Structure 1
Amino acid sequence: MTKYDFNQPINRLNTSSVKWELTKEIFGTSDILPMWVADMDFAPPIEVKEAIQNRVNHGIFGYTFAKASVSEAIQGWVKKRHGWDIELSWIKFHSGVVPAISTTIQALTKPGDKIMLQSPVYTPFFTMIEKNEREVVNCPLQLSNHRYEIDFSQMEECLQSGVKLFLLCNPHNPGGRAWTESELRQIAELCKKYHCLILSDEIHSDLIFKPNRHISIASLDESYQDFILTCLAPTKTFNIAGLQASAILIPNPDQRKSFEDTLAKQGLHGLNLFGLTALEASYRYGEEWLEQLLEYLTDNLETAKSFISKQIPEISLVEPDGTYLLWLDCRKLGLSDLELKNQLLQKGKLGLEPGPKFGPGGEGFVRMNIACTKATLLDGLERLKLSFS
């Protein structure tokens, strides 16, 4: 078995890295440790790099298409990792999950329609609704004992207002919840009752800490597949976001046709050659790498939990079921969000995602990316402590 060395530092400067090279533009200073945007500091599986290199060595990069083997790789991965039998005809491709969300909104709703989300949540959920001239309906999550829960009574009230589409984040970003079967069934039954479509963003579905497991909401009942679309991608899992490759599963043929028509209006007809190559190689050969990554991330999580509880007890960690993102509750520090940001940058020289970016309920929180070497993590934790000492 290949042993991957996730402790090996990789210099990402001068590679057009958003995370490492745009600190001045984003934080106003370049002398910080960036632990904010959701990409990892690890090289992807060897087989992915080899597959790309083989295409480079061929030397011709003309028009390309997604061979059946690409969809078959997705189908096999979803079956093996998540126990869900999907049909090849359901699979459509897009350059990323966020563009797929935008295309779905354009294809299946109209300007002025209500679209529901659950804050605090991934920022582009808000952006894609607003930029497409739809109305945001927020059904905020409830934080209880350092864990997010859904207020289903409130959700039903929101749906009764005429919501056309619900953007579900599973696993949840930034809260790290992998929603349970019971929770997902309640969501699906409510949306079914009120004729509301569901678009489930499952980009973090492979990044789950044991003994938790990811459940695709559309897999729970065949009838759900008529009104649920599912976004997935290898980009977070295997750290290949720059290659821009994702898939969306659309079982309903009418919805699939609307999605295809909207892509055609946008002039989009497929993924780039290297995105397709990396997507297939990731899902065919990346499992061993992923299992070792999950062990490393689990150790990083335990290290962070222990450090924060002992060294910075004023900060509480929202317990994650998955992802490599820590949602840190800093409200006991008694600081405003601006003061939190300034102390992190000026005292700790640490760049984290500010909570308000994730909408209502994010005030007093910050998000920290722990998909980095152990040395970087320890450095970041010390900087976090210094920020508030």
Structure 2
Amino acid sequence: MRQTPDFDEVINRFGTHSVKWDGMEPIFGVPAADGISMWVADMDFRPPQAVQQALESMLAHGIYGYFGDAAAYHAAIRWWMQNRHGWAVETDWVFTTHGLVNGTAIAVDAFSAPGDSVVLMTPVYHAFARVIRAAGREVVECPLALVGNRYELDFATWDAQMTGREKMLILCSPHNPGGRVWSVEELRGVAEFCTRHDLVLVSDEIHHDLLMPGQHHTVMALAAPEIAPRLVTLSATTKTFNIAGAHIGNVIIADPGLRARFAARMAALGISPNSFGMAMATAAYSPEGAAWLDALRLYLDGNRQMFDAGVNAIPGLRSMPLEATYLAWVDFSGTGMEVDEFTRRVEKLARIAANHGPSFGRGGESFLRFNFATPRKLVSEAVSRLQAAFADLQ
């Protein structure tokens, strides 16, 4: 019998080596005693019971040797992609990496050389730029166009930026931090841009299951099938089911040539999967996991509505309409305040830890990112604190 998930349960994560909660005070100066952690993108919810049972079964057995047969794991991936995204994936297309930051780093290593350039559409997930620069590559920032309160793609401007040194584009789909679900037409535009400039396209789709009601994500492989000879897709169970600590992700490559180049780097680095992560992912990609996800999405939508209504009621603050993820991208430019001032108010007066917008690249300077994947009681408290911290604007 399936258990109804209790997303309202407040679970104390302090003292569990949680970077989100135990790192809140040393990183942001937000006191552990009464602070609210709304930064790093993991959720404060237990995963589906099937995931817990898979781990308990391993613990009961008590021997933790090398992992062998991955057939059930690959079958679960194929089932999930077909049933949730309409995408038929072959087993030999799938590489298992230690999470998708690791997968991104290996792709940068496999498909570019030191001194090459990699294109990012900013503001975007900050780890991309970090691994690109650490690998000795140059980051080319192509700013998204902010039209009203929504990000749009600006290919004409980006075409003019290209120099010929660019070898790769990393797409965030759905977009983090803006929460956009790119349309098929937009995805085709990205594919055409990559073809024009001879770029390998790495499509990070880690948030593709975390959609708001009424939204539909299309995997790049289906939006633009002709891009297959230059397409690398990243997906994972970790964001969807809140098992980021498992550090497991999938790099899916249909093209044999690209696949061989990626496989060579995997072999050279000696990467093999973690048995705990394999068991957790296999259990998550299941009918029980799907039912849990459907309940989660409704709960997150309720949190989104509460957070946005409260934030947008504060003069000068504007939360970008969210189509996917659980990450609210809030613009403080209407307050007329400098970055240091509105950040101080959030951290010192509201006692909330949120991601700083500039870390996401050009276009993020006036923003903070808030993670509302937490019990609704904490979302309500966070809204009240933000309204109090900016009460002089009322």
What letter matches 1:336 in structure 2? E
The residue that corresponds to 1:8 in the other structure is 9
Instruction: Provide the rounded CA distance (Å) in 1 between the counterparts of 2:224 and 2:385.
Output: 47
Q: Residues 107 and 49 (structure 1 numbering): CA distance in 2 closer, same or farther, change over 3 Å?
A: same
Q: Residues 22 and 280 (structure 1 numbering): CA distance in 2 closer, same or farther, change over 3 Å?
A: same
Q: Partner of 1:117: helix, strand, or coil? A: strand
The residue that corresponds to 2:247 in the other structure is 244
Which 10-residue stretch deviates more, 179-188 or 313-322? 313-322
Instruction: Report the Cα offset of residue 309 of structure 1.
Output: 2.6
The residue that corresponds to 1:207 in the other structure is 210
Instruction: Report the Cα offset of residue 18 of structure 1.
Output: 0.6
Instruction: Report the Cα offset of residue 386 of structure 1.
Output: 2.0
Within 5 Å, which residues of 2 pair with 1:347-362? 347-362=349-364
1:281 aligns with 2:283: yes
Which 10-residue stretch deviates more, 190-199 or 365-374? 190-199
1:35 aligns with 2:38: yes
The Cα RMSD (Å) is 1.3
The residue that corresponds to 1:366 in the other structure is 368
What letter matches 1:236 in structure 2? K
The residue that corresponds to 2:379 in the other structure is 377
Instruction: Report the Cα offset of residue 274 of structure 1.
Output: 0.6
Instruction: Report the Cα offset of residue 283 of structure 1.
Output: 0.5
Instruction: Report the Cα offset of residue 24 of structure 1.
Output: 2.3
1:117 aligns with 2:131: no
Instruction: Report the Cα offset of residue 333 of structure 1.
Output: 1.1
1:89 aligns with 2:78: no
Instruction: Provide the rounded CA distance (Å) in 1 between the counterparts of 2:205 and 2:86.
Output: 15
The residue that corresponds to 1:47 in the other structure is 50
What letter matches 2:8 in structure 1? N
Retained in 2: the 8 A contact 1:337–1:354?
no
Instruction: Provide the rounded CA distance (Å) in 1 between the counterparts of 2:130 and 2:361.
Output: 11
Instruction: Report the Cα offset of residue 160 of structure 1.
Output: 5.2
1:336-373 Cα shifts (integer Å, max 9, x gaps): 11112211122111111111111111111100001010
> Which of 283, 299, 309 is the aligned partner of 1:306?
309
Retained in 2: the 8 A contact 1:219–1:225?
no
Instruction: Provide the rounded CA distance (Å) in 1 between the counterparts of 2:126 and 2:324.
Output: 18
Runs of 4+ in 1 over 6 A off after TM superposition: none
What letter matches 2:105 in structure 1? S
Instruction: Provide the rounded CA distance (Å) in 2 between the counterparts of 1:200 and 1:27.
Output: 31
Q: Partner of 1:247: helix, strand, or coil? A: strand
Retained in 2: the 8 A contact 1:177–1:322?
yes
1:105-125 Cα shifts (integer Å, max 9, x gaps): 101111111110011110011
Instruction: Provide the rounded CA distance (Å) in 1 between the counterparts of 2:348 and 2:224.
Output: 51
Instruction: Provide the rounded CA distance (Å) in 2 between the counterparts of 1:366 and 1:222.
Output: 36
Q: Partner of 1:128: helix, strand, or coil? A: helix
Instruction: Provide the rounded CA distance (Å) in 1 between the counterparts of 2:389 and 2:269.
Output: 46
Instruction: Provide the rounded CA distance (Å) in 1 between the counterparts of 2:142 and 2:238.
Output: 28
Which 10-residue stretch deviates more, 185-194 or 370-379? 185-194
Gaps of 5+ in 1: none
What letter matches 1:171 in structure 2? P
Aligned residues: 387
1:341 aligns with 2:327: no
1:145-186 Cα shifts (integer Å, max 9, x gaps): 211001010222234534210000001000000100000011
1:233 aligns with 2:236: yes
Which 10-residue stretch deviates more, 179-188 or 148-157? 148-157
| TM-score scaled by length of structure 1 | 0.97
Instruction: Report the Cα offset of residue 128 of structure 1.
Output: 1.1
